[in-house]
A = this chain, B = another copy of it.
Amino acid sequence: MFSKACQYGIKSVIYIWKQSLLGNKVGAKEIAEHVDAPEPFTAKILQELVRKKIIGSQKGPTGGFYADGAHESFTLRDLVEVIDGDGLFKGCSLGLKECSETNPCPLHHEIKKVRTHVVDMLTKKSLKQLAQEVERGETVLARFDF
A143 within 8 A of B: yes
CA distance A8 to B95 in the complex (A): 8
CA distance A15 to B130 in the complex (A): 43
Q: Cβ of B140 and Cβ of A105 under 8 Å apart?
A: yes
Complex copy number for this chain? 2
A20 within 8 A of B: no
Bin the interface of chain A by size: 35 or more
With A1-B93, A111-B121 given, is the CB distance from A104 to B139 under 8 Å?
yes
A107 within 8 A of B: yes
Q: Cβ of B107 and Cβ of A121 under 8 Å apart?
A: yes
With A2-B93, A7-B95, A95-B4 given, is the CB distance from A114 to B121 under 8 Å?
yes
